[in-house]
Amino acid sequence: MSTSSFKKSANSGLTFAIIVIFLALIGFTITGPSLVQKIWGDTLSAGTIPSYLALVVFLGFIGIWNGWKAAGQTGESPLHLKSAIFAGLVAGLVAGLIVMLYAFIVGSISARGIDLRVYLSLLSPESIVYFVFGKSTLIGGLIHLGLSIASAILGAFLAVSADRSGERISKWKNLVNNWTKNSWLGSLKKNVYLNYVLVGVVLLLLVLMPRTWGSYWNYIMGTVGIYILLGIGLNIIVGFSGQLVLGYVAFFAIGAYSFALITAPEPHHVELNFWLALLVAIIASAISGVLIGLPIMRLRGDYLAIVTLGFGEIIRILIKSDWLRGITLGPRGVRNIAGPTLFGKSFSSDVDFMYLIILAVILSIFLARRWQESHVGRAWLAISQDETVAQATGVDTYKYKLLALAIGAAFAGLGGALFASRNQFTGPEDHALMVSINVLCLVIVGGMGSIPGVILGAFTLKGLPEILRELENYRLLVFGALLVVMMIIRPEGLWPARRPNLEVKPPPKIEEKPIDAVSQGGDV
């Protein structure tokens, strides 16, 4: 083994040691194992320390990853068993030693009775004791060292065997692909009726599910639904027309507040009918979209992003301000916002509200699709790819950019109104910057310009955190990590946009002929 690959393995070990220490410092060495324990089916009540076995498994996975990486970095193809194992050993040893050192230092500080929570709020004495497996810091550290080396070697071994079976796997994949293409499964995929059946099944589920969900799940799913609405709206602005708007929450706030103020008994005593108020909220948001759009139409890219970012905050601060207290009730927020009624009957139970949201989502998806496939959608597509050329082909870029903003804002208004109505309350803190970021994240994670992507993104970013309650403290961390990982492995998003091919004619056959000048004459 050369010194350079020795260095690489040591480097890999160092990186993984830093990862483990980082996780330990933010208390994730408790959260991680409790997730592990949950996955294998144990029920853990909040606040209890998971078993040591779970910690071993959790750290073991990280160690295996370490070994796997180190083996890959030997740069041999195919991987050589001996050098891979050696690389794993080095990486595991380095990682283990550093983690051991960390355990020793933190353990002895903690043993002296110094509470480290002063510096890092999640570094409780219990978590430190747990991290050293309830033993003394020295023995705990040794366990870490052993675990690190063993798991890294295992990882290296796995990397080698995966490398060897890689060819077999790809053969298998081809076989399966061919089989699905040629057999009835392939023909089923192309079957149009199947689509209708699928849509029918989904609709049936949507009708049946809210009744069985119970109020907690209806609440969560309702939130997901509202975020789908927001995502669809922002997707029209960012995904379709290509304008990076960061202050989307402004439209959400305007929708929520205009709905709240005309239905709540205080402060204005208007108490309009739900449906009428909903319409007003949508229109108010759309108009605000145009008003904001007018001055910023000439801005592109980063400038647009920053100006709109500021705008989102301005709206929230205005709502909160003393100056507008008479109109918006300031930081106290608006209470007793009306719920939906139908033919004079109240319609605002959890289940009813869920149906309302589902209906709104379906309607929005339908509308967004229609727009996307229309003349307008084509104009947006052109603008998002090259605004100058779009202009040169006769697209009224000004009009269509404004239209995108107005439509996107209208969806936000609908979402905001439903949100306010469901909670029967809305305050300035419901409309913080985080909403904009969440919605933008779900659009990006799902796949910009893709409506199914938005739905998937909303479930991933708003639904998953509810399921993984343990991760709540780490939501921002997970967001960041998720975005980084997404940008690396799936830059197009979870469900990338695939535009319908509007041309019906089959592609012409390319005849065999000598390559002419055009195909030869490349430039750069």
Binding residues (CB under 8 A) for another protein: these are 378-379, 381-382, 385-386, 388-396, 398, 501-503, 507-508, 510, 516-524
CB burial string 180-211: b at 16+ within 10 A, e below: eeeeeeeeeeeeeeeeeeeeeeeeeeeeeebe
Nearer to another protein, 29 or 235 (CB): 235
Where do the H-state alpha helices sit in 183-248?
Answer: 184-190, 192-234
Nearer to another protein, 41 or 521 (CB): 521
> Minimal distance in Å, beta carbon 523 to another protein?
4
Enter the tokens of residue 329: 């009730």
Establish how many alpha carbons lie within 13 A of residue 185's alpha carbon, considering only the half-sphere containing its beta carbon: 6
Enter the tokens of residue 323: 């100056």
> Minimal distance in Å, beta carbon 495 to another protein?
17
Please spell the DSSP secondary structure of 312-372, one letter per residue. HHHHHHHHHSSTTHHHH-GGG-EESPPPPEETTEE--SHHHHHHHHHHHHHHHHHHHHHHH
Nearer to another protein, 118 or 510 (CB): 510
Nearer to another protein, 118 or 524 (CB): 524
Hey, which residues does 111 pair with through a beta bridge? Answer: none
> Minimal distance in Å, beta carbon 379 to another protein?
7
Nearer to another protein, 346 or 385 (CB): 385
Give SS3 for 272: coil
Nearer to another protein, 251 or 380 (CB): 380
> Minimal distance in Å, beta carbon 425 to another protein?
44
> Which helix (DSSP H) or strand (DSSP E) does residue 425 occupy?
strand 425-426
> Minimal distance in Å, beta carbon 397 to another protein?
8
> Minimal distance in Å, beta carbon 439 to another protein?
23
Hey, which residues does 334 pair with through a beta bridge? Answer: 426
Enter the tokens of residue 288: 């605000």
> Minimal distance in Å, beta carbon 502 to another protein?
8
The rounded distance, in Å, linking the Cα atoms of 58 and 316 is 42
Burial (CB count <10 Å: 0-12, 13-18, 19+), residue 43: exposed
The rounded distance, in Å, linking the Cα atoms of 150 and 209 is 47
Nearer to another protein, 47 or 521 (CB): 521
Nearer to another protein, 334 or 379 (CB): 379
Distances (CA, A) of 119 to 17, 21, 315, 451, 476: 21, 15, 35, 44, 20
The rounded distance, in Å, linking the Cα atoms of 411 and 49 is 44
The rounded distance, in Å, linking the Cα atoms of 435 and 248 is 8
> Minimal distance in Å, beta carbon 378 to another protein?
7
Nearer to another protein, 488 or 504 (CB): 504
Enter the tokens of residue 27: 């208390």
> Minimal distance in Å, beta carbon 410 to another protein?
25
R_g of the chain, CA atoms, integer Å: 28
